[in-house]
Amino acid sequence: MRFLVIPLINLLVLLRVLLGLPFRLLGARSRPAYVRFRLAGDPPYRERPRRARLPLGLGGQGRPEPATVTSLEGFREALELLAKDAKVKGILLVMEDLAVPPAKREVLVKLLEDFRAAGKRVVAWAVMVDSLGYQVMCAADEVLLSPAGRLDLVGFAAEALALGEGLGRLGIKAHFFRRGAYKTAPELYTHAHVSDIQRQTLESFLDERYVDLVDSVARGRRRTPEEVRAWIDGGPYSAKRAAAAGLIDGMCDEADLPARLGGKKEDEDEDDEGLEPMPMYRARLPWPPVRWRPLRPKPRLGVVPVSGMIVSGKGTPGRAAGSDTVVKALRAAGRNRRVKAVVLYVASPGGSAVASEIMLEAVQRVAKKKPVIAFVDQVAASGGYMAALGAREIWATPHAVVGSIGVFVGKFDTSELMEKLGVHRTLVTRGETAGIYSSSRGFTEHERALMELETEETYQAFLEHVAKARGRTKEEIHALGEGRVYSGSRALGVGLVDKLGGFEEACRHAMVLAKVPAERFELQTYGGGERGFSLLKLLLGSARAGVYAFCPTAWSLLGFKGGERFE
C-alpha cells in the first residue's frame, strides 16, 4: 500500500510546487540580502512531529512569530540553505531572553561560526542581554544594542540555601541519614548554614563556567583574557558604556536595522523590507527545498526522557519521571522494529532508589536488543545517573552535572509545630518500629540504627551497580562517590561518562552502533505522565526507602528545569 500512496503524495507535492512557481519567480529578484531570526527562550534540539500531543520546547503557547527559531535542527537547516545562496549576505539575529543551557549555547555558537566560515555575515542585536546571551552574540561579526539597552556582563553567581534553623523555629525537625560527606541534598533542611563542602562544590562549577565565559568572549571579541576579566568586573553596562568600552560594535534602534544593513533607504516606510524571516525567504525561492516522502520509511531513533525527580508510578512530564512510565516507554521502544537504537535523555537529579533501580533494569533489557546511549546536557545525578548506567555508553556535555553517587533517608518531625498550632495527635502502635515513618515524633535509638543500616545497604548496592556498569571495583567507585558531583568534563576524566558531545552527535552515534546510515533518521519519543508531584512530597516519604537524589533547589547556578528539550 505504501508503494502506491507515497508516489501519489509526492505527485501532489510536485503539483503544488509547480503551481506556485510563477509567483515565486516574480518575487525571486527581491529576495532579501539579510534574513531575520529571533532567538528566544530555550528552543528544543528538534521539532516534535505535528501529530504529537505535547509540543516539547514550545510549551503549547500557540504558533510563534515567523522569525522565531523553533528548534536548533531547523536553525541549522536554514543556515545551510542561506549559505548556498549567493544573493544572501547574512542574517540578523535578534536576541530576546535567551535561556538555554550551556550545551545548547555551544551548538548555537558552532552554527554561527560555520555560517560565517561559508562567507556569510552575522549581525546580532538585542535590547537587553545577559552573560549567556552575550556569549552567543560574540560569535557574530557585529554586535549591536538598542540605545536604551543594557548588557549584564557580570559573570556568574550561585546561592546555596540552608533552611534548618528556619524550620526549627517553625517547630519542624528534619531527621535524615546520608551515606557520603558530599551527599548534601538533605543539608537544605538539616543545616543552619551552608557547609564548606557545598561551598567548595559550587565554587568548582563557578570556576568552570567563568573560565568558559572568559574564553568565549575573548575569542569572539578578539581580546585577551585579562581584558575580558576587566570587562566582567566592570559590568553591568548601559549600551553607551558597552560601546565605549568596545564590548559592542554600535547602537541601533530596531527600526533602523534595515537601513544599517542596506535593506532599505532611510526615507522609506517603517516596514522590515530587506529583513524578512525565513518563511518569507523560502516563499521567494524559485525551487525551494521539498521534503519528498521516501518510498521506504526512514529508520527511527527512539528517545526516552527521564526528566525531573524520579518517583514510583506514572510521574508527570518534565517535573517527575515515573518508573512505570519510563519502563513502558523503554519496552515500547524495544519492541518497535523500526526503532534501531534508543537515546535515554536524562535530565534528572535523582529521587526514589527503588524507582531508579527499576529504570536501570529496564534500560539494561532494551540494551540487550539494540544500542542504547544515555545523553546528559543538564544533570544526571544520583538516581538519574543510575538509570543511565544501563546504556551501552553515557554521553555528556562539558558543563552537565554528573554523579552524586550516594544515598539519604529520613523524615520530618512536625510534633512541635502541631503543638504550637494546638493540634494534638496520639500515636498508637503495635510493634516496636510501627511508628518509624510517623511525622508525629523523631526516631528512637533502635529505629536510628535500622535507618543507618538501610542507608549503608542502599549505598553499597549503588556502588555495586556503578562498579559493574563502569568496569571498576567498588573501592574505586567509592573514591569517586560519597555524593561527589562532577561536570561532564571532569566526569569524563574520572571515567563516569564515556564521551563528550552534543545531542545530535549522540543520536548519530547510536545509529552507527545499530549499523544504520546515520545521515537521515526520524526521532520518535516515548513516555509521558499524568499526575502532579512535588519535591516536598518525595522528602516527606523518603524514610520508606533509600533516596538517590541531588538537590538542585539550593543551586541557582544550575538553572535546572527538568523539561524535555530534545524534540
pLDDT tens readout for residues 202-213 = 888 889 999 999
Alpha-carbon span 346 to 343, nearest angstrom = 9
Catalytic residue (one of 382, 404, 487, 542): 382
State the amino acid at position 310 in one-letter form: I
Using pLDDT thresholds of 50, 70 and 90, give the confidence band for residue 274. low
Confidence of residue 350 (pLDDT cuts 50, 70, 90): confident
The pLDDT of residue 179 is above 80: yes
Distance CA 235, CA 150 (A): 10
| Active site annotation includes 411 | no
| pLDDT tens column, 377-434 | 999 999 999 999 999 999 999 999 999 998 888 889 998 999 889 998 888 888 888 8
Count of other CB atoms within 10 angstroms of residue 27: 14
Q: What structural domains and CATH numbers belong to the chain? A: 31-154+235-283 (3.90.226.10), 300-554 (3.90.226.10)
Name the band, by pLDDT with cuts 50, 70 and 90, for residue 519.
Answer: confident
183 is catalytic: yes
Establish whether the linkage from the previous residue to 277 is cis, with ω within 30° of 0. Answer: no
The band of 321, judged by pLDDT with boundaries at 50, 70 and 90, is confident
Per-residue model confidence (pLDDT) at position 425: 87
Spatial distance between the Cα atoms of 216 and 109, rounded to a whole number of angstroms: 9
SS3 552: helix
More confident residue, 279 or 237: 237
* pLDDT mean over 505-527: 87
Parallel, antiparallel, or unpaired for β 309-311 and 34-41? unpaired
Q: How far is Cα 201 from Cα 194, in angstroms, rounded to an integer? A: 11
How do residues 352-385 score in pLDDT, each as one tens digit? 888 999 999 999 999 999 999 999 999 999 999 9
Are the beta carbons of 380 and 401 closer than 8 angstroms? yes
Spatial neighbors of 376 by CB under 8 A, at least 6 apart, are 346, 347, 384, 388, 394, 395, 396, 397, 400, 402, 488, 497
Q: Report in angstroms the alpha-carbon separations of 440 from 9, 171, 273, 314, 534.
A: 67, 11, 69, 29, 21
More confident residue, 62 or 511: 511
| pLDDT digits 0-9 by tens, 439-458 | 888 899 998 999 889 889 88
| Residue 119 near residue 90 (C-beta atoms within 8 A) | no
Bridge partners for 145 per DSSP: 126, 251
Give pLDDT, residue 106.
93
User: What is the radius of gyration, based on Cα positions, of the chain?
Assistant: 27
- Is 402 within 8 Å of 374 (Cβ atoms)? no
Q: In the prediction, which pLDDT does 51 show?
A: 45
CB 179 within 8 A of CB 455: yes
Cα dihedral across residues 431, 436, 442, 445: positive or negative: positive
- pLDDT on residue 162: 85
**pLDDT-wise least confident of 8-17, 85-94, 517-526:** 8-17
Q: What is the pLDDT of residues 39-52, one digit of tens each?
A: 999 999 988 655 44
Which band of pLDDT confidence, cut at 50, 70 and 90, is reported for residue 87? Answer: confident
Cα Dmax for the chain = 89
Q: What is the DSSP string of 218-258?
A: HHHHT--HHHHHHHHHH--EEHHHHHHHTSSSEE--GGGHH
The pTM is what? 0.82
CA 129 to chain centre: 20
Q: What is the DSSP string of 35-48?
A: EEEEEEE---SSPP
Q: φ, ψ for residue 529 (rounded to 5)?
A: -170, 170
List pLDDT tens digits, range 139-177: 999 999 999 999 999 988 888 888 888 988 999 998 888
Distance CA 507, CA 375 (A): 9
pLDDT (average), residues 90-102: 92
* Reported confidence tier of residue 186, pLDDT bands at 50, 70, 90: confident
User: Which of 529, 500, 486, 74 shows the shortest CA–CA distance to 289?
Assistant: 74
As to burial, measured by CB atoms within 10 angstroms (0-12 exposed, 13-18 middle, 19+ buried), residue 200 is exposed
Q: Which of 88-102, 128-142, 180-194, 297-311 has the lowest mean pLDDT?
A: 180-194
Strand stretches in 308-397, DSSP E: 309-311, 315-316, 320-322, 339-348, 350-352, 372-381, 393-396
Which pLDDT score is estimated for 516?
86
Q: Residues 6 or more apart from 473 whose CB is under 8 A from it?
A: 467
Q: Which residue has the higher pLDDT, 560 or 282?
A: 282
Bridge partners, residue 447, by sequence: none
d(C-alpha 222, C-alpha 565), whole Å = 32
Q: Which amino acid is at 271?
A: D
Choosing from 89, 104, 183, 370, the catalytic residue is: 183
Cell 516574480 locates to 26
The Cα 484–Cα 348 span in angstroms is 16
Q: Across residues 70-87, what is the average pLDDT?
A: 91
What would the grid cell of residue 434 be? 510501627
- The candidate with the shortest Cα–Cα distance to 391, out of 513, 284, 493, 247, is 513
- Torsion on CA atoms 367, 471, 549, 307, rounded to nearest 10: -30
At residue 235, the pLDDT reads: 86
